[in-house]
Amino acid sequence: MKILVIGSGAREHTIIKALRRDPEEHEILAAPGNAGISADAEIVGLNPANPKVVTEFAVTSDVDLVTIGPEAPLVSGVANALRTAGVAVFGPDKEAAAIEGSKSFAKDIMASAGVPTGKAWTVSTHDELTTALDAAGAPYVAKADGLAAGKGVLVTEDREAAIEHATFYLQHGDVLVEEFLAGPEVSLFFVSDGHRIVPLTPAQDYKRAFDGDEGPNTGGMGAYSPLPWLDEGFVESVASTIAQPVVDELAQRGTPFIGLLYCGLIVTDDGVKVIEFNARFGDPETQVVLARLESPLAPLLYAAATEVLESVEPPRFSDRCALTVVLASEGYPENPVTGREILGLDALPDDPNISISHAATAWDGSDLLATGGRVMSVIATGATFADARESAYATLERIGLEGSHFRRDIALRVVS
C-alpha cells in the first residue's frame, strides 16, 4: 500500500515503524515528518493542516491510505477534503473530530448517549466562572473548551489559581468547570469505521511534568501498557458503555466517526467515567500500544477508512510489558529551549527491546537538533516492567541533550 502519514511527532514515527513491521511492504510517505521519520519514510514538504494541499498531493500521488496523526488537521477539515475526493483516510471529518476540539460538544454527545462523565458547567464570563467553581467545589478543574495541546487543563485546590487559569482561556473562548473525578487514569483507543468499533489495548499516560505527578500538565511524559491492575472485562465494558454509544450517537447525527476514538477515562469508586475524548491516537500512549501490536496495522486502518472493519482480524497484542519515557527540552512545557544538539544516538547498542521515536528533531548538516518541547520517546519492552524500565533508563542515560529532563517514575507503580 502507498500510505501518507500526516504529522511530525513520536506518535507518527511509531505508527510508521509499526506499518514497517507489517508482512506486506508499504511505500510510506510522511508530511511533514522529522529527522527520525526521514530514516523510515519519504518526507513530503507540504502544509499538513491545509485540506486542499494535502488532498491534491494524495490524489496526484495515487496514495491508497492517508493516516492523520494530530488533532489540528482533523479539526481544520483535512479528512473531509480527502474523503470528498475519494481518498481512503483514517481520521474523522471535522464535525466528528469536534468531540476532541470542543469539550462542550463532547459533553453534549455524552449526555445524549448516556455515557458516564463528571458534571460540568460551560462558562463564558467571570461571574459564571466563580458561580460554577463554587458549585463544583475543590479540587477545582478548569478546562479551555477548545484545543490547547494538553495544557488547557488545571486541577488545583487553589480557587484563585483556578480563576487565573480560567480567566486566561476566557479571552479565547468558553471554559469548562468540571467536577473532580478521583481515581487512576486509563487511555483506551478504539478503531472505528463509523459504525463498528474494535478496541486496542489499555495504556496509562503520565500527564504531569515531574516525578510523583508534580508540576504542570504536559502533552504526556511517558506511558506503559498493559495495566495489570485493571479488572477483567474492563475493555469490553468500556466498549459497550462508552465507545459504542458515542460512535452510534455521532452516526445518528449524520457525522460518523471514522478513525481512532481515544477514550480518556478515570476509574472512580463509582465506576469508569470519561474525562475526555480525542479524535486521534494518543501521544505517548501509542508508543506502548503499538509496541505490543502483533497483527498487521495497515489492513486495520484501511478497513476502518473504507468502512468494512468486520473484514479484518481484530488487533492482537503480546503480553510483554511496554513503557515509554519522553525526553523533554529544558523549560518544557512552559518555555522549551530549542536548537540544542542531541548526542549519543549513534553509539547506542543494538537492542531489539529498545526503539526510539523522534518528535521534535531536525538535521542541521550532520548535527541532530532538538526543535521543540517533547524531543523523543524511548520505548522499551521486556518480560517484566522492571526489565523494560532498566532498558529504557539505561538508554536515556546515554542520550545527551543539555538541560533536558525526563520522568524517572514511569511504570514504577506496576513494578512488583
Residues lying near ligand AMP in the complex (CB under 6 A): 118, 141, 143, 150, 153, 155, 178-181, 185, 207, 217, 264, 275-276
- State yes or no: residue 205 binds ligand GLY (CB under 6 A): yes
User: Is there binding between residue 12 and ligand GLY (CB under 6 A)?
Assistant: no
Q: How far is the CB of 177 from ligand AMP (least distance, A)?
A: 10
The cell numbers describing 271, all together, are 465506576
User: Does the footprint of ligand GLY cover residue 220 (CB under 6 A)?
Assistant: yes
Give the gyration radius of the chain's Cα atoms. Answer: 20
- Which region, left, alpha or beta, applies to residue 185 given φ > 0 means left and ψ of -120 to 50 means alpha? beta
Q: Is there a contact between 286 and 301 (Cβ–Cβ < 8 Å)? A: no
Query: Minimum Å distance from CB 266 to ligand AMP?
Result: 6
Least Cα distance to 122 among 169, 168, 176 occurs for 176
Q: Is 95 in the site for ligand GLY (CB under 6 A)?
A: no
Copy the grid coordinates of residue 328: 523533554
Contact 227, 235 (CB under 8 A): no
Q: Which is nearer to ligand AMP, 185 or 307 (CB)?
A: 185
Q: Is 53:21 a contact under the CB 8 Å cutoff?
A: no
Residues 137-156, interacting with ligand GLY (CB under 6 A): 150
34 DSSP assignment: -
In three-state form (DSSP H/G/I as H, E/B as E, the rest C), the secondary structure along 264-329 is: EEEEECCEEEEEEEECCCCCCHHHHHHHCECCCCHHHHHHHHCCCHHHCCCCCECCCEEEEEEEEC
- Report the nearest approach of ligand GLY to the CB of residue 363 (Å): 26
Is residue 285 part of the contact set for ligand GLY (CB under 6 A)? Answer: yes
Residue 105 or 393: which CB sits closer to ligand AMP? Answer: 105
The item of ligand AMP, ligand GLY, none sharing an interface with residue 282, based on CB under 5 to 8 Å by kind, is ligand GLY
Among 282, 296, 315, 382, binds ligand GLY (CB under 6 A): 282
200 binds, among ligand GLY, ligand AMP, none (CB under 5 to 8 A by kind): none
Where does 8-158 have alpha helices with state H?
10-20, 51-60, 71-75, 78-84, 94-101, 103-113, 126-136
Give which of ligand AMP, ligand GLY, none residue 283 binds (C-beta under 5 to 8 Å, depending on kind).
Answer: ligand GLY
- For ligand GLY, which is the closer residue by CB, 284 or 296? 284
From the list ligand GLY, ligand AMP, none, partner contacted by residue 100 (C-beta under 5 to 8 A by kind)? none
Based on CB atoms, which residue is closest to ligand AMP, 195 or 208? 208
- For the record, the C-alpha cell of 191 comes out as 478503531
List contacts with ligand GLY (CB under 6 A): 150, 205, 220, 278, 282-283, 285
